[in-house]
């Protein structure tokens, strides 16, 4: 599915015009999301689409999804929660108080167990020696939060094997959580880097003994690109990766979350100044990819959730093609600073949670 029957590259060109001439100015002028609520702005978007593309303007929402498993949408780094509460229903809670705050805004939380299970050291992540004690201490509160609907499951962490956690320890930790919270009582999820294959982890070791833990309910990987719109990129690279390394290796009890890239950079160029993709270029690319991710997710029953990286931005993250240690480029801009991507994800999120 797409937001228009016209090929999205043409639609992106029309939206790019609006984004450059209107949307970005409105974002900077308002200092936030007030422009999203401006009906006149959205009407102007539709009008310009009609003028530029010579067809009917795109509808504000995509058609109803035939994938009834796709029920959850949210962002990484979704602070402030009030920014996205109207078009999301999933929050990654760092602690119980965080989950309670999210619930008051209608968000369902996955409670982080990162610090309960893992510890980072000179050799990367390892399983805590006292993980069982920590889990036992958390159990009464976690069950209370599950029972009253404040949380619906747990997030084991992000890019764990990439950060050098041994696959055997990953399974041990996941199995311990599953034993405490049987399948059907809580969703267990974690996200990995796109390092299955096998590939080297961040410690330089080829991880040849990795397998997706059977204790999980949801699994995801992150795979991003930074060079501008590439027609069919989501299907050619991300979906193919899932088909090759993930769908054939999950059980009948497991589904996936998709983690699209939705960020930008002011400094995405090589050190000699060669252009790659500036912030507006990123915005058009991420909006295009958003619709392609939804087209896939809305027709694939193996997908249960979409959670783009990220909303608020990550000043300590590398949003540029030119990677560290060149600290010039640690300026990752979140979706909140990407007007076209925000419009796309707002419509998609509303459709999913409707």
Given a cut of 70, whether residue 51 has pLDDT beyond it is no
- Measure the CA–CA gap between 208 and 219, rounded to whole angstroms: 19
- 315 confidence band (pLDDT: 50, 70, 90): confident
Q: What is the pLDDT of residue 143?
A: 98
- Measure the CA–CA gap between 102 and 94, rounded to whole angstroms: 11
> Which position has the token pair 């510890």?
119
Q: What is the pLDDT of residue 323?
A: 56
Q: What is the pLDDT of residue 197?
A: 83
Instruction: Give the tokens for residue 54.
Output: 């010579």
Q: Which of 60-64, 165-169, 266-270 has the lowest mean pLDDT?
A: 60-64
Given a cut of 70, whether residue 4 has pLDDT beyond it is no
Instruction: Give the tokens for residue 215.
Output: 């204790």
Q: What is the pLDDT of residue 113?
A: 98
- Measure the CA–CA gap between 162 and 330, rounded to whole angstroms: 20
pLDDT digits (tens, 9 = 90+) for 301-311: 999 999 999 99
Burial of 280 (0-12, 13-18, 19+ CB in 10 A): middle
Nearest Cα residue to 230 out of 272, 276, 298, 267? 276
pLDDT digits (tens, 9 = 90+) for 156-185: 999 999 999 999 999 999 999 999 999 999
- 327 confidence band (pLDDT: 50, 70, 90): low
Question: Checking DSSP bridges between strand 124-127 and strand 118-121, what pairing results, if any?
Answer: antiparallel
Q: What is the pLDDT of residue 271?
A: 64
Mean pLDDT of 36-59: 37
Helix (H/G/I), strand (E/B), else coil: 134: helix
Q: What is the pLDDT of residue 266?
A: 80
Mean pLDDT of 191-201: 92
Given a cut of 80, whether residue 87 has pLDDT beyond it is yes
Nearest Cα residue to 87 out of 296, 269, 290, 268? 290
Helix (H) / strand (E) containing 85: none
Q: What is the pLDDT of residue 329?
A: 65
Given a cut of 50, whether residue 58 has pLDDT beyond it is no
- 273 confidence band (pLDDT: 50, 70, 90): low
Higher pLDDT, 320 or 198: 198
Asked whether 131 and 171 are in contact (CB, 8 A), the reply is no
26-to-37, 75, 78 alpha-carbon distances in Å: 12, 22, 21
Q: What is the pLDDT of residue 276?
A: 82
- Measure the CA–CA gap between 218 and 302, rounded to whole angstroms: 10
List b or e across 65-96, with b for residues whose CB sees 16 or more CB atoms inside 10 angstroms.
bebeebebbbbbbbeebebbbebbbbbbbeeb
Greatest mean pLDDT among 33-42, 82-91, 312-321 lies in 82-91
Crossing angle of the two packed helices 8-18 and 279-297, in degrees rounded to 10: 140
Instruction: Give the tokens for residue 281.
Output: 């270029």
pLDDT digits (tens, 9 = 90+) for 210-249: 999 999 999 999 999 988 999 999 999 999 999 999 999 9
- Measure the CA–CA gap between 264 and 278, rounded to whole angstroms: 8
Helices (H), 68-166: 81-84, 96-104, 114-117, 131-147
Q: What is the DSSP string of 16-69?
A: HHHIIIIIHHHHHHHTSSGGGG-HHHHHHHHHHHHHHHSSPPPPSSPPPPS-TT
Higher pLDDT, 127 or 6: 127
Instruction: Give the tokens for residue 239.
Output: 């979906």
């Amino acid at each position: 599915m797409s937001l228009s029957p016209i090929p999205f590259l043409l639609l992106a060109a029309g939206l790019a015009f609006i984004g450059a001439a209107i949307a970005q100015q409105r974002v900077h002028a308002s200092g936030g999301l007030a422009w999203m609520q401006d009906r006149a702005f959205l009407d102007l978007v539709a009008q310009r689409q009609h003028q530029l593309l010579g067809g009917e303007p795109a509808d504000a929402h995509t058609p109803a999804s035939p994938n009834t498993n796709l029920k959850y949408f949210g962002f990484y780094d979704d602070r402030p929660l009030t920014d996205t509460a109207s078009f999301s229903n999933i929050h990654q809670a760092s602690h119980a108080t965080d989950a309670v705050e999210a619930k008051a805004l209608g968000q369902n939380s996955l409670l982080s167990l990162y610090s309960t299970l893992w510890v980072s050291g000179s050799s990367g992540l390892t399983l805590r020696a006292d993980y069982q004690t920590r889990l036992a201490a958390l159990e009464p509160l976690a069950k209370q939060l599950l029972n009253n609907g404040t949380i619906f499951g747990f997030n084991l962490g992000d890019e764990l094997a990439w950060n050098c956690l041994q696959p055997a320890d990953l399974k041990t930790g996941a199995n311990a959580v599953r034993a405490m919270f049987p399948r059907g009582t809580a969703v267990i999820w974690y996200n990995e880097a796109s390092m299955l294959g096998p590939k080297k982890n961040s410690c330089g070791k080829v991880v040849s003994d990795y397998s997706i833990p059977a204790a999980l309910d949801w699994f995801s990987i992150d795979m991003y690109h930074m060079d501008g719109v590439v027609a069919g990129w989501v299907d050619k690279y991300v979906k193919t990766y899932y088909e090759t390394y993930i769908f054939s290796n999950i059980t009948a009890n497991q589904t996936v979350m998709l983690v699209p890239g939705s960020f930008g950079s002011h400094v995405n160029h090589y050190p000699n100044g060669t252009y790659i993709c500036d912030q507006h270029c990123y915005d058009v690319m991420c909006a295009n990819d958003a619709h392609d991710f939804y087209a896939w997710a809305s027709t694939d029953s193996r997908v249960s959730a979409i959670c783009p990286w990220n909303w608020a931005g990550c000043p300590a993250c590398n949003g540029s093609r030119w990677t560290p240690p060149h600290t010039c480029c640690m300026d990752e801009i979140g979706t909140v600073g990407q007007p076209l991507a925000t419009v796309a994800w707002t419509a998609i999120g509303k459709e999913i949670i409707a």
